[in-house]
Amino acid sequence: MNDSTDLLKSVRDTTSETEFYTPTPDGYKPGKTKYIAVFGTVMSGLGKGIFSSSLAKLLKDKGLTVSPIKLEGYLNIDSGTLNPFRHGEVFVLDDGMETDMDLGTYERMLDQNLSRANFATSGQIYRTILDRERAGEYLGRDVQMIPHVTGEVKMRLRELAMQTNADVVSIEVGGTVGDIENAFYIEALRELSYEEGEENVMFATLTYVLEPPALGEQKSKAAQLGIKGLMEYGIHPHMIACRAENKVDEKVMQKISLFTNVPIQRVFSMHDLPSIYLLPEGMRKAGIDKEAIKHLGLESRVDHAADKKNTAQWATFAKKICNAKGELKIGVTGKYVALRDSYASIIKAIEHAGVANDVDVKLQWIETTDVNESNAAKALADVDGIIVPGGFGVRGTDGKIACIKYARENNLPFLGICLGFQMAVIEYARNVCKLPGADSTELDPDCKSPVISVLPEQKQIEGLGGNMRLGGQDVLISPDTLAAELFGGAELIRERFRHRYEVDPEFIKTLEDAGLVFSGRHSKHPIMQILELPRSVHPYFLAGQFHPELTSRPLRPQPMFVGLVAAGLEHQKLKG
């Protein structure tokens, strides 16, 4: 039994007066799971999630089981109430957990579904501890940041390791080193390395290499000071990713290597690339994956045949990104277009669909607050298809409806998502069915024809009370429809939802009699989930009450986006 095992065995009893308080799951074996922790320095938004997920992907390609986790510093229990302008999109997991957008990056890179066990916030950590304190589980001890809060963090990491039987748990610490709110995470990881053994934990940090235009050269001082801040917490990095606009100069990396005692082969230039999906291949060529394997002693677990196959497959995908045969412009009509992170998953889903169609898709951002029926044609003149994305509230909805009407009447390929689905129903009810006052009770609680509403019986069906319908749900596909064609004839698919309002069943027959097809429904109840127009009426008019972008993966693009891009190419040809 090694020192780490002795230490953990001696402190499992939480009633003990020992200062080595570190609760551990029953059956946990130190050394079985390795840990990689990624920190950010200098400034936020550098791409910790992209680096961390790319490294995790390289390890998974080698046949290892990798479980990522994002540790967020904010006190919210989840990301559901965060404004997209402040924090980017809310990514919904299959189990209904509303998370940070980085979880989407992990799911796409690793091509695996994650759960609430892969996401933790300070609010979750504190609530768990306070609930235990109120229940008397600490038996009179004063509850402190160290060891109780840090102990809870370590417990979650070890529970994740056991639940997923992980070879590697990849940990991303949100925020920037020096922030007050993430300091206890950093301390917990320092303790983790002490308890697990240095050979079982690897620390990686992102830093930023400045290149002031007035100087005309890269400067490493801010990067050095940022890393110094991490070292002051007692954490010495084993690997450094240098973010920069241009490739980091070899001398700059040598300077950082010398300052930090990190071998030069573990200092990596993470400069801007045309696509984040080119990063794993760049890291592989630089040997970053091999360095991680070596440090963690994972050589015996590597499946070389799987690694070769997965490397070739990804290289083919990456090559297509750089060698598209054409260009296509798709409009995104929304109200958060000033911040692209609000639509991060849509951007990636379109990129996946573009590769599948061998075309470079350029997105044109259209602020719908300023669009109406009189100027919709001008706003959409340059695009060969539109996406009407999700959102909440009244602002911009009239513009979305105007865009949908134009697309329907002018054979412009259209994909509606969540609120976009509801706006398509309202547009059809108003302009085709001629229903007076057709609207959503979200937008107008007193409307005459509430084609979109929250119904008491639907609340009971889903058991949601006043909450949103969240997470993965089955969708029953009608045969001989566009949806059936797109999903390869599947009768049942699973997609992710995040909404409160539904199509009111009272109006379904009216809408269908007027030609609208509900090709996707709840498997048991009258809840409409996909709508479309027949191909004989429109080349591509499709919308989902769910968020199809959340299930798109690089090598398994979401069919509704693939279909939109294909239809856009046909529209481009016809337009000449």
Digit-coded pLDDT (tens) for 370-417: 899 999 999 999 999 999 998 777 777 899 999 999 999 999 999 999
CB burial of 273-284 (b: ≥16 within 10 Å; e: otherwise) equals: eeebbbbbbbbb
Confidence of residue 13 (pLDDT cuts 50, 70, 90): very low
- Spell out where 369-491 has E strands: 386-388, 414-417, 438-440, 449-453, 469-477
Q: Where are the alpha helices (DSSP H) in 323-438?
A: 344-356, 376-379, 397-409, 419-431
Please work out, in degrees rounded to the nearest 5, the angle formed at the alpha carbon of residue 190 by the alpha carbons of 184 and 192.
Answer: 100
Rg value, the chain, Cα: 26
Q: How many CB atoms lie within 10 A of CB 395?
A: 11
Give tens-digit pLDDT for 132-144: 999 998 877 889 9
**Nearest alpha carbon to residue 71 among 46, 36, 42, 95:** 36
Give tens-digit pLDDT for 282-335: 999 999 999 999 999 999 999 999 999 999 999 999 999 989 999 999 999 987
Quote the tokens at residue 153. Answer: 């963090």
* Predicted pLDDT at 140: 75
Quote the tokens at residue 531. Answer: 């709508």
**Nearest alpha carbon to residue 347 among 293, 275, 282, 439:** 275
Q: In the chain, pLDDT over 70 holds for what percent of residues?
A: 93
Q: How many CB atoms lie within 10 A of CB 15?
A: 10
DSSP state of 114: -
Which of 418, 427, 433, 499 is catalytic? The answer is 418
Distances (CA, A) of 229 to 9, 39, 201: 33, 11, 20
Q: How many CB atoms lie within 10 A of CB 250?
A: 11
Q: Of the CATH numbers 1.10.760.10, 3.55.50.30, 3.20.20.100, 3.40.50.880, which one belongs to the domain with range 325-575? A: 3.40.50.880
Give tens-digit pLDDT for 444-476: 999 999 999 986 655 555 544 445 789 999 999
* Predicted pLDDT at 75: 94
If you average pLDDT over residues 415-433, what whole number do you get?
A: 97
DSSP state of 224: H
Confidence of residue 500 (pLDDT cuts 50, 70, 90): confident
Q: Domain boundaries in the chain? A: 20-317, 325-575
Quote the tokens at residue 442. Answer: 């979200």
Could you check whether 20-317 and 325-575 share the same CATH topology?
yes
* Predicted pLDDT at 85: 65
Residue 10, pLDDT above cutoff 80: no
Quote the tokens at residue 154. Answer: 């370590």
* Predicted pLDDT at 17: 63
* Predicted pLDDT at 523: 86
Which of 72, 187, 195, 549 is catalytic? The answer is 549
The span from the CA of 33 to the CA of 38, in Å, is: 16
The span from the CA of 410 to the CA of 416, in Å, is: 16
Residue 337, pLDDT above cutoff 90: no
* Predicted pLDDT at 455: 66
Give 336 or 111, the one with higher predicted confidence. Answer: 111
Residue 88, pLDDT above cutoff 90: no
Give 216 or 127, the one with higher predicted confidence. Answer: 127
**Nearest alpha carbon to residue 326 among 275, 277, 362, 366:** 362
Residue 173, pLDDT above cutoff 80: yes
Q: How many CB atoms lie within 10 A of CB 173?
A: 24
* Predicted pLDDT at 459: 55
**0.95 exceeded by the pTM?**
no
Residue 514, pLDDT above cutoff 90: yes
* Predicted pLDDT at 336: 64
Question: Tell me, what amino acid is at 125?
Answer: I
**Nearest alpha carbon to residue 352 among 550, 488, 555, 494:** 555
CB 222 within 8 A of CB 246: no
CATH fourth-level superfamily of 20-317: P-loop containing nucleotide triphosphate hydrolases (3.40.50.300)
The span from the CA of 351 to the CA of 334, in Å, is: 18
The span from the CA of 23 to the CA of 31, in Å, is: 16
The per-residue DSSP string of 524-537 comes to: SSS-EEEEE--TTT
Distances (CA, A) of 482 to 140, 477, 490, 531, 564: 64, 10, 12, 10, 11
Listed range (110-119, 206-215, 349-358) with the worst mean pLDDT: 206-215
* Predicted pLDDT at 220: 93
Quote the tokens at residue 91. Answer: 């990514």
**Terminus-to-terminus CA distance in the chain, angstroms?**
74
Strand 98-99 with 91-92, pairing? antiparallel
* Predicted pLDDT at 12: 45
Which of 148, 538, 547, 571 is catalytic? The answer is 547
CB 36 within 8 A of CB 63: no
Residue 447 annotated as catalytic: no
The span from the CA of 227 to the CA of 255, in Å, is: 13
* Predicted pLDDT at 270: 96
CB 386 within 8 A of CB 363: no
For the chain, the average pLDDT equals 92
Residue 245 annotated as catalytic: no
Residue 6, pLDDT above cutoff 60: no
If you average pLDDT over residues 98-123, what whole number do you get?
A: 96
